[in-house]
Structure 1
Amino acid sequence: MGYMMTLMHLQGVADEIMCKAFPTTLKGAARIWFSRLTPGSINTFKELSAQFTAHFIRGHRYKRSTACLMSIKQREDETLRSYISRFNKEALSINEVDNKIFVAAFTNGLRKGKFLFSLYKNDPKTMSEVLYKATKYMNVEDALLAREEKPKKRERQEDTRQDQGWKKARKGD
């Protein structure tokens, strides 16, 4: 609880004063947690300490709201796979799980393209459905990319052979 609070407690300072002094020692997530407490819901400093300990020390972390998901956008050069990974990482920090909000936020952040069109067309209801469709879409993309790369390799090999043939022909001249 901090040195100041411990010192006040040892000196026998009244609960009311300790409860009023307590928020001045808080920062970040702890201050936000304190500001969300219902006024008049805590009667003693012991209660306040117990709630604080239960919330922070026992591993309960401050979670973000679903509104932060709406700010996640797929970048122009970002692959679908990378966007999904980044979106899921943020989604883990959300307290309430509501599939409609997750689907809406994910869709809202996607770049315009075939996958977004596919989602609007099929209207998935859960993130599981969205991720299933995304996996299928990424697999197709990977297969098409692999097909495109094979002819490029053949062209490069043929160019190399032609260059070697040209060099041999020039030596014979």
Structure 2
Amino acid sequence: MPDIPKYDGMTDPQEHVTSYTRAIKGNDIEEDEIESVLLKKFRETLSKGALTWYDHLPEHSITSFEILADAFIKAHAGDKKVQSRKADILRITQRDDELLREFVNRFQRERMELPPVMEEWAAQAFTKGLNPRSSTASFKLKENLLEYEAVTWADVHNRYESKIQDTFDVLRKYNMKLNPEKCAFGVQSGKFLGFMVSNRGIEINSDKIKTIEDIEVVNNVKAVQTEQKDSSSKPIHLEVIE
């Protein structure tokens, strides 16, 4: 039996039949045996749904390879289109600067604009599209979806909402209240108590030290005297040179 890639619904069924026929005929088989070999070996080139389809063919419904090939092509003509739909939804991915809430809304909107796909595929596409670099919320949600696979979009959305609920539960536990006008969820960085806080940690706010950074450095006494005569001079720093 020649080495023929198994058909799994990802390729053109017509091309599979053509490749299979060509391989069998080029395998030094007697002319009067080709038809029999084509019929007997075709099942070995199928997998997944195509194999299930073959095993459920009505008994005595196939009397020639021509009938088998025709039935196979008609049954799987839509496979390539379906796989194309799956590829389209898998292209929806979260950007580095996109908040989790924004990605959830955009995913739902773009999904509705595409041809319908199975719920399981939508859940898989969303999980794959989540960008853990965009925010801690996205990272935790993706971690949860990978550990406990979701099979429906409703399941995905419920877990997204539960992650938000977890945050509010923590706030209630410590009796913390939020000012809606000052809240921003999922942001990557922001100012807090005069410092810049981000996923990199706590950093100095450059606006607060701008005056220090702008101090002009002088390295001789004459320059110091010149600066002192200028009543509008900026703060200066004397650099001692040994």
TM-score (norm 2): 0.35
Q: Which one has a larger percent strand, Structure 1 or Structure 2?
A: 2
Q: TM-score, normalised by structure 1?
A: 0.44
Higher RCO, 1 or 2 (CA under 8 Å, sep at least 6)? 1
